[in-house]
Structure 1
């Protein structure tokens, strides 16, 4: 049996993970938001009848003390998942715990949300899965070396599911991009001189010749012109110039515009430059 003064989902995940180490079948009963002494007594009495192992996550010290007394009365086997950790942290930090139920659950939810977002970004990098574009919270669009991947990863660590789509000269963007809410799509551009230096450095790193069209100014100018043409067709996409900007700086602008666009008074899109 699992007893929690919040949702109990964190405890249930931990218990289920532990039971996977054993071949014997285990029945799990979750009792969430247990706050009253009468509830505790009823649950623990039933646990005694079933000879169940009791696992509990209760952050309030008084409630934990009450559980300890009832455990002795009913002679139960128990595991306190969080009490010992809270006590140790209180001693280490030299301060009293808040004793607020649900904080662990909210932190755990946030953690899993970020993990899911990072996995989404990895699977949908560089246009890998166009069918997933409508599922994204944000979609970044731009030619090669406009910081799409590092921005996707950074924003994913903030809990947003981000996909990115490369613009390739002479190739139409994927049809699925038209299914995405314009408020979620951001265009990325970079000044040609900077892009040429970045690409030539990339070619050197890969051991490829610098006369490849990938690093040539004329080809880069054509790519940038093509991307601007795409952006003009989608006037509601904000276009951000990433030239000489840190990833964190560009990400902050994207987040600000994204938040504004999902409020009643949304600002007009435009080019953001230093």
Structure 2
């Protein structure tokens, strides 16, 4: 029976501890004969937590590795390490100091920012994937999962606007409305506050459609697609639908930058979410 003591490395982090874990495991590849195990303490934000961890580490002579952005807590760890004779390694402090000197700027010292950034990144990726899978009215069976639903006739910037919004973590479905075709029933089965209508001036739309046909080399087969009277009638038909659905805000995209329309939609979306939250809180207080 082996009498060798199994060594323990304690990781302390004000976030997830993934940074310290990754570095520690990389270092341990250089010591393949050592049998160690790791204990990780996440979201450590106060001195009481730290003291408790060091009280235990002192008993077993553990090694403590920490990634803490607060200079006050790092100083406390350094002091308690000396007091209790516990070996400790600061993975964040020297790096922060070096970067701070280089940038001539103090760090924010806000815990958990890396985890927050990672979450935001994955939210954007998921939103973009969702949006691309729901382009041009596809997969309407999951329409209820969208944050924003764009409706409009052909060439009213539905797809590019959807993609732009998805880059901000917003899941978008765009649904084309076509004269002579009934609107999808799914549109009326979801929260109507998610739906945003897009319109455009007739002259601008005619020009856009003609340019589109030219690029496709289909000038001789235009039909009524870019005809001025046809375009005007199509816009008026769509406008009547929008008027009948009063909860759908209408955005005119004529000569507007994509970013401008997206910004207007996001502002209204934010206002609606805040209003829903306030109504929910009010209902809870009434109860």
Sort the TM-score into its range (normalised by shorter chain): 0.7 to 0.9
Does residue 41 of the first structure (1) align with residue 54 of the second (2)?
A: yes
Which of 186, 200, 203 in structure 2 is aligned with 1:190? 200
* TM-score, normalised with respect to structure 1: 0.75
Distance verdict in 2 for CA 1:88–1:243, change over 3 Å: same
Residues 93-125 of structure 1: CA deviation (Å, up to 9, x unaligned): 112223232333333333333333223222222
- Work out the CA distance in 1 between the residues paired with 2:239 and 2:212: 23
One of 127, 139, 143 as aligned partner of 1:129:
139
Q: Which moved more, 1:139-148 or 1:218-227?
A: 218-227
RMSD: 3.5
Tell me how far apart the structure 2 counterparts of residues 182 and 40 of structure 1 sit (CA, whole Å). 52
Q: Hey, what does 2:248 align to over in structure 1?
A: 237
Rg: which structure is higher? 2
Equivalent of 1:139 in 135, 149, 154: 149
By how many angstroms is 1:199 displaced? 1.3
2:127 to 111, 117, 139: 117
Aligned with 1:247 (options 258, 265, 274): 258
- The question of 1:31 aligning with 2:44 is answered no
* 1:153 matched to 2:163: yes
Summarize the Cα distance change of 1:33–1:234 in structure 2 as closer, same or farther, 3 Å threshold: same
- Is 1:225 aligned to residue 239 of structure 2? no
SS of alignment partner, residue 215 of structure 1 = coil
Contact 1:45/1:74 (8 A) holds in 2:
yes
Structure 1 residue 187: Cα displacement: 0.5
Match of 1:202 in 2: 212
Unaligned runs of 5+ in 1: 266-274
Which digits, 9 at most, give the CA deviation of each residue in 1:136-165, with x for residues without a partner?
Answer: 111110111111122222222333222211
Q: TM-score normalized by structure 2?
A: 0.72
1:10/1:124 CA distance change after superposition, 3 Å: farther
Does the CA contact (< 8 Å) of 2:11 and 2:17 recur in 1? no
**Preserved CA contact (<8 Å) 2:198 2:251:** yes
| SS of alignment partner, residue 174 of structure 2 | strand
Name the structure 2 match of 1:95: 105
Please state if 1:259 is matched with 2:270.
yes
SS of equivalent residue, structure 2 residue 219 = coil
The CA deviation at 1:131 is: 1.9
Query: How far did residue 2 of structure 1 move?
Result: 4.1
CA change 1:33–1:200 in 2 (3 A) is same
Structure 1 residues 163 and 30: CA distance shift in structure 2, 3 A: farther
Asked if structure 1 preserves the Cα contact closer than 8 Å seen for 2:150 and 2:172, the reply is yes
Residue 229 to residue 44, structure 1, CA distance change in 2 (3 Å): farther
Q: How many residues align?
A: 253
Ranges in structure 2 where 5+ consecutive residues have no aligned partner: 1-9, 30-35, 277-287
